[in-house]
Structure formats: C-alpha cells, structure tokens
C-alpha cells in the first residue's frame, strides 16, 4: 500500500507537503496579531516549545472568527484552549469542550477559562483496528456533536499517533472542520491517512489542506467550513 507521502504526491504533485517551513512562522505571527487586533485583543499567548505554534493559533482564530462553530472540541489543553476561551467570550463560538489527560495541567488551564476542561486519564482502547492509549471519547461525546475539532493531544507516538480521534468521525455533522496538529510527523501522517480512508468510506464530500510553519497542520473540512482548507 502506498504511503501517505506517496499518495499526497499523487494528489498534489508534491512530496514535501507536510514538511515544516520555519521561515513562515513570522508571517503567521503577523497575521495572528492582526486578527487579534481586529477583535480588540492583546497577544498574551506563548507559542513556544511543544505549545501551539503561530500557524495553529492563526488557523483556530480564523475558523472561530469567520465560521463561528456552534460546538468545539479542543483535544489537548494549552494555548489553543486559551484562544478558544477568548473566542467564546467574544461570542464567536458556542460550546467549547477541552480534553486533557494530566490532572494538574488540566486544573491549571481550567482556572484560566470559562468552559469545561474534561480530565480523562488515558485508557487502552481499540480504535480503527489498533490498540492505543487514548481519551474516554464516550465521555467527550455525551450526546454532543462538534462542528470544529482541533487535535493536539495526547503526547505523540512514532506510529498511528493520536489515532483515538477516529472515534469522533462516526457522528460528525454535515458541515465540520477537523484540524490535526504536528502533521509533519510520521505517526500523525498515519492517522491523517486513516482519516482520509474513513471519510472516503463514508462517502463524505470533503477537502483537505495543509498549513506549514514551525509545525504543520492538516485541515479536513466539509460544507460551509470548506474555505478553511485554504486559510
């Protein structure tokens, strides 16, 4: 079976579509600051180390401000959580739920936001035909349907990283945006390929795009969220 890189070359004519371009980080920073200023907000974010980088923060800000999702699932607490909280406070997005597996970190972030931070220790589950350590997705769903999902957790693995997100593909609304961070890593590319396969099997009419800066993000979208793949 061809690898995701081989398939991406077939689809786009590029073999390096997921490779980071650190030089673009400054451009995304400027765009992020501009969009923040339009909302009357200051830059109080810290996109350093393993935290969300500027291309991810910019993408979240654009999705929230332009498409105004009704229900957001934020997988992995951190800078993205603070940004979704700001967008919710501004009335740009509706319900927000953050998933986190570390109780201390979850409590730290929960103290800075007004929405629910659901701490769910990782458990061994079988998802997409593979056994992995992942969140309690049943508790996350609890009758909810998310039209915007950003997956930046749990900690990545060398192969089939963060594959638990496949648990959320069975009840997506007709219009949605799904963002997978760290798309430059092999493990995340395994999961991106599985998302492709699942959406194709479900006969979903979707598009996919990639943002590249210090890190890369893959964006899947349908319906009114389709322009998010060109942000």
We report the CATH number of the domain holding residue 140 as 3.40.50.150
Backbone phi, psi, residue 45, to 5° = -100, 155
User: What is the model's pTM?
Assistant: 0.93
Model confidence over 18-59: pLDDT tens digits? 999 999 999 999 999 999 999 999 999 998 888 899 999 999
Percent of the chain scoring above 90 in pLDDT: 88
Integer angstrom CA distances of residue 113 from 140, 145, 192: 18, 21, 30
Query: Do 174 and 223 meet the contact criterion of CB atoms below 8 Å apart?
Result: yes
The answer to whether residue 150 is domain-embedded is yes
The per-residue pLDDT for 2 is 52
DSSP string, 126-160: EETTEEEEE--HHHHHTT---SEEEE--S---SSS
The answer to whether residue 169 is domain-embedded is yes
* Domain total in the chain: 1
Q: Compute the distance between CA of residue 218 and CA of residue 56 in angstroms, rounded to an integer.
A: 10
Mean pLDDT, residues 123-144 taken together: 94
Q: Give the range of the structural domain holding residue 52, as residue numbers without chain letter.
A: 21-230
Mean pLDDT, residues 148-163 taken together: 96
The answer to whether residue 12 is domain-embedded is no
The answer to whether residue 67 is domain-embedded is yes
Can you read off the two tokens belonging to residue 43? 């830059």
The per-residue pLDDT for 47 is 87
Mean pLDDT, residues 201-207 taken together: 96
β-bridge partners, 72: 96, 148
How sure is the predictor about 13, in pLDDT bands with cuts at 50, 70 and 90? very low
């Amino acid at each position: 079976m061809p690898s995701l890189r081989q398939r991406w070359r077939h689809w786009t004519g590029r073999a390096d579509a997921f490779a980071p371009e650190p030089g673009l980080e400054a451009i995304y920073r400027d765009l992020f600051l501009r969009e923040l200023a339009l909302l009357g907000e200051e830059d109080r974010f810290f996109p350093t180390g393993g935290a969300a980088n500027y291309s991810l923060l910019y993408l979240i800000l654009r999705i929230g401000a332009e498409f105004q999702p009704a229900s957001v699932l934020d997988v992995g607490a951190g800078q993205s959580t603070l940004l979704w909280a700001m967008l919710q406070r501004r009335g740009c997005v509706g319900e927000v739920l953050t998933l986190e597996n570390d109780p201390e970190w979850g409590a730290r972030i929960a103290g800075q936001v007004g929405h629910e931070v659901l701490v769910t220790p990782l458990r061994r589950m079988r998802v997409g035909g593979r056994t992995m350590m992942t969140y309690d997705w049943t508790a996350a769903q609890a009758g909810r349907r998310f039209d915007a999902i950003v997956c930046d957790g749990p900690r990545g693995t060398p192969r089939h990283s963060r594959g638990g997100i496949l648990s959320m593909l069975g009840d997506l609304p007709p219009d949605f945006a799904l963002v997978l961070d760290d798309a430059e890593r092999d493990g995340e590319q395994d999961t991106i390929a599985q998302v492709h396969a699942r959406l194709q099997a479900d006969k979903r009419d979707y598009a996919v795009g990639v943002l590249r800066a210090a890190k890369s993000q893959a964006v899947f979208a349908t319906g009114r969220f389709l322009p998010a793949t060109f942000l």
